[in-house]
Structure 1
Amino acid sequence: MLKKSLAALTLGAALFAGQALAADYAIDKPGQHAFINFKISHLGYSWLYGTFKDFDGSFSFDAANPEASKVNVTINTASLDSNHAERDKHLRSADFLNVDKHPQASFVSTAVKSTGEGTADITGDLTLNGVTKPVVIQARLLGEGQDPWGGYRAGFEGSTRIALKDFGITKDLGPASQEVELILSVEGIRQ
């Protein structure tokens, strides 16, 4: 009996250790389990929310060694949607994202630093409106495990704030609207 228990514990530990190894994940955008949203103050009176509907990316993640993780995301900037067609047209114009000249934005991680149980700061290069600057995304692991279809998934949320002028967006929207918050919710399928 003791031998069977030890064998079961050894097998369980081996299986659990195998799940903790670094793995590559494709962001589940086709399944609509990933979102890149933004919010910015409107004149200091309310929040304007929006999303980018078309993006793709991947990440690698190792729960035992989060510092070895990597993130790579590409966004099609013309997919911006703030639920108002005229405003979206203006946000896509040269006043803001200049999507005709810069049809893509991207984020490529350069470092991951664990900040606590299931949290990390992800530093990387954000390219937006033709300008590349380092940003830090404060991220949190939401969970990982088997899905009902035989796959394995991991999910994260994160946010960062960027100053519009740092990315060459100089349209003056007033003092309350100098920064935009990017809000990310990402679920990946292990490859």
Structure 2
Amino acid sequence: MKTNTRVLAMVLGMGMASMAQAAPVNYDIDTGGMHASINFKIQHLGYSWLTGRFEKFSGQYVYDAEDIKQSQIQVKIDTNSVNSNHAERDKHLRSADFLNVKKYPEAMFESTSISGSNENMTVKGQFTLNGVTKPLVIKAHKVGEGKDPWGGYRSGFEGATELKLADFNITKDLGPASATVLLELHIEGIKK
């Protein structure tokens, strides 16, 4: 009887441990600029690519390795932090012609569903830019996860999407090759 009780306790303990591992995990996005970035690129006259990034953003996500559908993400971007490596151009990008940062200092993405697998995720959500909210789909995958050297736990993902400037009331005519912006997202989270 004693042995049966021990075996039952071990089985229950192992079951509880596996349930704990399967639970969703909350992460803060590492926004120090060292391990996460939000980059963009847009064609210049159809001849080359102009690239840049947003230096300041924040967010968090819930990641469930066992059930991707339970995962979610929220990111806020400081649009004033745009950096295309050219001060005068950045000033223009901040103006009402483009990001209109005085009126709309923040862009935001909030997921509505996440599906697929760790290798091939589809993240659907609402993206707000320049005062306009539209649906946006991000194709993403998990890069990895594990303990860090400082006693924390991290996970990382990358993804990409594209958006049409006109959909967000950015109507400055840059030519047909420059109507679409590509966004590249590199996200690393630190477990809360």
| TM-score of the aligned structures, taking structure 2 as reference length | 0.89
Counterparts in 2 of 1:77-96, with a 5 A limit? 77-96=79-98
Counterpart position of 1:135: 136
Question: Which residue identity does 1:57 align to in structure 2?
Answer: G
For 2:14 and 2:180, the matched residues in 1 are separated by 48
TM-aligned CA deviation for residue 17 of structure 1 = 5.8
User: Secondary structure in 1 aligned to 2:145?
Assistant: strand
Two-structure CA RMSD over aligned residues (Å): 2.1
- Equivalent-residue separation in structure 1 for 2:33 and 2:97 (angstroms): 33
Aligned-pair identity in percent equals 55
Give 1:105's match in structure 2, choosing from 93, 104, 107.
Answer: 107
Larger Rg, first or second structure (1 or 2): 2
CA distance in 2, matches of 1:14, 1:142: 28
Shift of 1:148: 1.0
The residue number in structure 1 matching 2:5 is none
> Deviation string for 1:81-139 (max 9, x for gaps)?
0000000000110000000010000000001111x452210000000000000000001
Mapped to 2, the partners of 1:58 and 1:117 lie a distance apart of 18
User: Are residues 149 and 14 of structure 1, via their aligned partners in 2, closer, same or farther at CA, if it must alter by over 3 Å?
Assistant: farther
Output the CA distance in 2 between the equivalents of 1:158 and 1:92.
25
Give the equivalent residue in structure 2 for 1:67. Answer: 69
- CA–CA distance in structure 2, aligned partners of residues 38 and 113 of structure 1: 24
Aligned pair in 2 of structure 1 residues 151, 17: CA closer, same or farther (>3 Å)?
Answer: farther
Shift of 1:11: 8.4
Shift of 1:32: 1.9
Q: TM-score, normalised by structure 1?
A: 0.90
Q: Which runs of 5+ in 2 are unaligned?
A: 1-11
> Could you tell me how far apart the structure 2 residues matched to 1:87 and 1:15 are?
54
Change beyond 3 A, Cα 1:31–1:98: closer
Structure 1's 31 and 11: CA in aligned 2 closer, same or farther, altered over 3 A? farther
Kindly tell me: are residues 142 and 11 of structure 1, through their superposed partners in 2, closer, same or farther at Cα, counting changes over 3 Å? farther
- Aligned residue-pair number: 184
- Where does structure 1 lack aligned partners over 5 or more consecutive residues? 1-9
